[in-house]
Amino acid sequence: MTIASISARAVAVPVAKPTRMSNRELADRHYMLVEVADSDGRTGIGYTYAGTAGGSLTKTAVDDLLAPVYLGADADDVYGLWGRAYQEALLAGRRGAVIRALSAVDIALWDLKAKRAGQPLARLLGGSTAPQYAYASGGYYQQDEGDWCDAIRREIAFNRGQGFTDHKIKVGGLSVAEDARRVAAAVDAIGGGGGRLALDANNAYHSVHEAQTAIEAFERAAGDCPLWWFEEPLSPEAIRGHGELAARIRTPVATGEIHQTRWEFRSLIEAGAAAILQTDAGVVGGVGEWLRVAHTADSFGLQMAPHWHHNLHVHLTAAVTNTLVVEFFALEKGIYNFELLLTPETRLRHRDGRVLVPERPGLGVELDEDAVTKFEIAN
């Protein structure tokens, strides 16, 4: 079966209210959607997060650079086509928007492959469709939420009301002292029932010393509750810095959401830069590349806690044995808003702190064409 067409669209979906993290303001989320059709008329859906801008750039990478490699080729040759597309990107740049675009095309081909097999992607990849353990992500900075600590307490209460016992909040957007108070408030709201708290710095700190000072303050604020992990404390390029920090502190370091391809992850692993890898299939190069990283991580005793895209990652975590947890964003929070582009019945469901692997073939998602049209970025 050959690839008959590839269609890419860029969309900009506004967040619900003004929001920020440690290093940027959020107004819109740009996503790039890809549909691949085979010669029998079956279609596969892929996507990536392009950033707070960059949707059109990522679409152009599909249209001008990658689609010519795939069109007319064998739709089953997913790994071989990835290699040829990666080579084609040599001069354009094999990182950034180009690899995010390649990720989306690869995801679409895996979705198509699983649909043709009549199986959920998790099962096609050798996994089960058992529910996957998840945590409630959030804890962003929103000015209209009032006192920072009160806002954290309300969000933790919301998460618990949805059945989640483990949580993640942002740090790095305020002074260390102010963020430490937020950490203490979160720990207090979680209570003594065994729930865990992870902290996400989004590359906020400029040196190992600065990051170490911050996490030690947060550990003191958490008291007797060990912090689950300290996420992206330094710039993604600071691979050796992450390794040095990881050797100095008590809280495990987690990183990898920005890193791309197996080769960057090799460097992370060799440097001892993280105990937990947050590989994002929409960033790293797609499904195949995510699996390569996961299996390599497993051989080093490292666990996978993928970043974002729970509709996709629920299948991938179900297919590997070194899964720690899936990151879940409630659509009601208005932060990770990708599911506004999906039909309501194909949005990911959860129960008792776990996310449910769809039994529908492929990824199990369908685009809401009215929503896509509404948010599509004009050429």
Average pLDDT over residues 208-226: 97
Provide the CATH topology of domain 3-118: Enolase-like; domain 1 (3.30.390)
Residue 145: predicted pLDDT? 85
The answer on pLDDT for 169 being more than 80 is yes
Distances (CA, A) of 40 to 2, 96, 112, 124, 250: 8, 33, 11, 20, 55
Phi-psi region of 147 (alpha: psi -120 to 50; beta: other; left: phi over 0): beta
Residue 223: predicted pLDDT? 96
Whole-number Å distance between alpha carbons of 316 and 329: 17
Residue 377: predicted pLDDT? 97
Q: Is 226 helix (H, G, I), strand (E, B) or coil?
A: coil
Residue 148: predicted pLDDT? 96
Average pLDDT over residues 131-149: 95
Residue 255: predicted pLDDT? 98
Q: Is 145 helix (H, G, I), strand (E, B) or coil?
A: helix
218-233 pLDDT per residue, tens: 999 999 999 999 999 9
State what percent of residues in the chain have pLDDT above 90: 95
CA dihedral for 305, 308, 314, 319, sign (positive or negative): negative
Which amino acid, one-letter code, is at 70? Y
pTM of the model: 0.97
Residue 167: predicted pLDDT? 98
Contacts 24+ apart (CB under 8 A), 264-273: 265/293, 265/296, 265/297, 266/296, 267/239, 268/239, 268/242, 269/296, 269/297, 269/300, 269/302, 271/239, 271/240, 271/242, 271/243, 272/243, 272/246, 272/247, 273/239, 273/240, 273/242, 273/243, 273/246
Whole-number Å distance between alpha carbons of 10 and 258: 20
Q: Which residues contact 235 (CB under 8 A, 6 or more apart)?
A: 203, 241
Rg over alpha carbons for the chain, rounded to the nearest Å, is 20
The answer to whether domain 123-355 has CATH 1.10.10.10 is: no
314-357 pLDDT per residue, tens: 999 999 999 999 999 999 999 999 999 999 999 999 999 999 99
The answer on pLDDT for 23 being more than 90 is no
Whether 123-355 and 3-118 are alike in CATH topology: the answer is no
Whole-number Å distance between alpha carbons of 184 and 196: 13
Residue 55: predicted pLDDT? 97
Residue 24: predicted pLDDT? 86
Q: Which stretches does DSSP call E strand in 91-158?
A: 132-137
Helices 261-270 and 239-248: crossing angle, nearest 10°? 40
Average pLDDT over residues 250-276: 98
How many CA atoms does the CB half-sphere of 31 hold within 13 Å? 25
| Mean pLDDT over each residue of the chain, to the nearest integer | 97
40-98 pLDDT per residue, tens: 999 999 999 999 999 999 999 999 999 999 999 999 999 999 999 999 999 999 999 99
Chain-centroid distance of CA 164 in Å reads 18
Indicate the domain borders of the chain: 3-118, 123-355
Chain-centroid distance of CA 190 in Å reads 24
**Residue 9: which pLDDT band, with cuts at 50, 70 and 90?**
very high
Beta bridge partners of 309: none
Which structure tokens are listed for 378? 């004009």
The answer on pLDDT for 18 being more than 90 is no
